[in-house]
Amino acid sequence: MNLPVGVVIKSLSLFTDSRGKLSELFRSDELPDGFLPSMGYISVTHPGISRGPHEHTHQTDLFAFVDGDYELRLWENRPGFEPWEARILVGANNPTAAIVPPGVVHGYKNVGTADAYVLNFPDRLYGGPNRSEPVDEIRHEEIDSPYSMD
């Protein structure tokens, strides 16, 4: 897959033994130069529900999809870059890490039949230090936008 500058899609290895399963989500020696996660969170998304599409002005996201079944959508929206769009099935059957830089519109939809988890390790604090700054997010799902999860 030919990806826009700064977008990284990486298959995650899943190791299984008698105790269960383990997957490395990211390693600092495999991250793009200058990218350092500032926080981490886990979210659960109900079947049929989408999160996004949205984009960030400054924030880069590192999503880890290791559970459930999701359709990840990406659109190039940075000035000076060629238009680009992708749909990628990710989750339990295709464990994937996705690094999404500022200006790339993104969203995901739970296309499975059960609640499923997503992990995110962005390089900016949500709402800045002590939640004292505006959230760096342009929510295309709340405005008249050419980007849609439908």
Q: What is the pLDDT of residue 19?
A: 86
Query: The CATH number of the domain where 122 resides is what?
Result: 2.60.120.10
Residue 2 lies in a domain: no
Q: What is the pLDDT of residue 150?
A: 87
As given in the structure block, the two tokens for residue 66 are 């290791």
Residue 77 lies in a domain: yes
Q: Per the structure, how many domains does the chain have?
A: 1
Cis check: omega of the bond before 37, within 30 degrees of 0: no
Enclosing domain of residue 71: 8-12+35-126+136-142
Residue 63 lies in a domain: yes
Residue 29 lies in a domain: no
Residue 39 lies in a domain: yes
Residue 19 lies in a domain: no
Q: What is the pLDDT of residue 12?
A: 94
Residue 67 lies in a domain: yes
Going residue by residue through the chain, which has 150 residues, state the pLDDT in tens, using 9 for 90 and above.
Answer: 788 889 999 999 988 989 888 899 999 999 999 999 999 999 999 999 999 999 999 999 999 999 999 999 999 999 999 999 999 999 999 999 999 999 999 999 999 999 999 999 999 999 999 999 999 999 999 999 999 998
Residue 115 lies in a domain: yes
Q: Count Cβ atoms within 10 A of the Cβ of residue 22 and give its class: 0-12 exposed, 13-18 middle, 19 or more buried.
A: exposed
Q: What is the pLDDT of residue 96?
A: 97
